[in-house]
Amino acid sequence: MAKMTMEMSVNGELCEEEAPANITLLDFLRDKLGFSGVKMGCNMGECGACTVLVDGVSVNSCLMLAAEAQGKEVTSIEGLSKGTTLHPLQKAFAEFGGAQCGYCTPGMIVAAKAVLDENPDPSDEEIRFALAGNICRCTGYVKIVEAVQEAAAELRAKGGDHA
């Protein structure tokens, strides 16, 4: 199996690494590029812990080859904060109890960002539908939905998400 040079933009930075063709985007981000905020929950696309954005849309990075992300823009949880300034979603999850053990949190927040990018004023129902692929075993989802709503309100007041 040949090694490929994978090139993609990750969190705004151009990244280039040699990797085998069979590496998933999840393992490429974690093991080759060091973005350990992207989590492995099941490796089968059934839990959403590995969610990242590829060209702005949410995907399970465990079910995507790094090869398929060549030339694209990838956003992981690490791309949402600027220094110590948190994205409104991160702030809301922290302040409103949206994270307990925190393992599902990176994927959940990235998935929620995709929701709000598309629909800045979602109903609770719409949030739950859009986050159906993100499993949390700790919170029962109540405070996750609240946090998304809080962040949505803040983003609307700011005139949108420029992250």
Partner 1 sequence: MPDLNATPLEIVGQRVPQVNSRLLVTGEARYISDTFLPRMLVGKILRSPHAHARILSVDTSAAEAMPGVKAVITGKDTPGIKYGFQQNYARKLPLESEKVRYIGDEIAAVAAVDEETAMRAIAAIKVEYDLLPAVFDPLEAMKPGAPELHDEDTNNVIARITSKNFGDVDKAFSECDHVFEDTYKTPAQAHVCMETRSVVAQYDKKGRLTLYASTQFPHVLRDIISRVLDMPESKIRIIKTFMGGGFGARQSIDPINPIASLLAIKAGRPVIIRKTREEEFETDRTRHPMVITIKTGVMSDGRIIARHMNVITDTGAYHDQATAVTGSAANKISNFYHADHVRIEGTVVTTNKVFGGAFRGYGNPQATFAIESQMDRIAEGIGMDRVAFRHLNANRQGETTVAGAKMVHCEFPACIEQAAAASNWDKSGSTQTLRRGTGMGCFVHTGGGARAAHAASFSSTLIKMNGDGAIEIFTGTPDIGQGSDSVFAQIAAQELGVSYDMVNVITADTDLTPSTLGVRGSRETFMQGNATKNAAHNLRVQIMERAAKMLQTKPDALDMKDAVIFVTDEPGRTITLQALMAPSSPELATAFPMPQSIVATGEFVDTISEMADPKTGYGNTCPTWAFGAQVAEVEVDIETGHVEVLKLTGAYDVGRAINPMAVEGQMEGGAAQGLGYALFEDVLWKDGRVINANLADYKVATPMDMPPMETILIETIDPYGPFGAKGVGEAGMIPTAAAIANAVYDAIGVRIMDIPLTPERVLRAIKEQGVRPLTKMAAE
Partner 2 sequence: MLPQFDYARPDTLQDACRLLAANPDAARPLAGGTDLIFDMRLGKKSPALVVDLKCVPGLDEISFDADGAMRLGALVRTRDIELSDRIRQKFSALTDAIDVLASVQIRNRARLGGNLCHASPSADTPPALIALDATVEIAGPDGTRSLPLEAFFTGPGKTVLTAGEVLAAVTVPPVPAGGGSAYIRNTVRKAMDLAIIGVGAMLVLDRDGRCAKAGIGLGAVAPKPLRAHDAEAFLTGKQLDDATIAEAAKLARSIATPISDVRSQADYRADMVEVYTRRTLALALSRAAA
The residues of the shown chain that bind partner 2, judged by CB under 8 A, are: 1-2, 4, 20-24, 43-46, 48, 51, 57-60, 62-65, 67-68, 111, 114, 129-130, 132-134
Checking phi first, is residue 8 left (phi over 0); if not, alpha (psi -120 to 50) or beta?
Answer: beta
What, of partner 2, partner 1, none, does residue 74 touch, CB below 5 to 8 Å by kind?
A: none
Q: Which stretch binds partner 1 (CB under 8 A): 45-53, 63-71, 115-123, 155-163?
A: 45-53
Helix, strand or coil, per DSSP, at residue 129: helix
* Whether the Cβ atoms of residue 37 and residue 78 lie closer than 8 Å to each other: yes
Q: What are phi and psi of 24, to 5 degrees?
A: -75, 160
7 C-beta neighbours (distance < 10 Å), count: 13
Nearer to partner 1, 81 or 119 (CB): 81
Whole-angstrom distance, CA of residue 95 vs CA of residue 72: 33
Which x/- pattern over 93-132 shows residues binding partner 1 (rule: CB under 8 A)? xxxxxxxxxxxxxx--x-----------------xxx-xx
- Choose which of 25, 77, 114, 116 interacts with partner 1 (CB under 8 A): 77
Whole-angstrom distance, CA of residue 131 vs CA of residue 104: 12
What, of partner 2, partner 1, none, does residue 160 touch, CB below 5 to 8 Å by kind?
A: none
Q: Does 86 bind partner 1 (CB under 8 A)?
A: yes
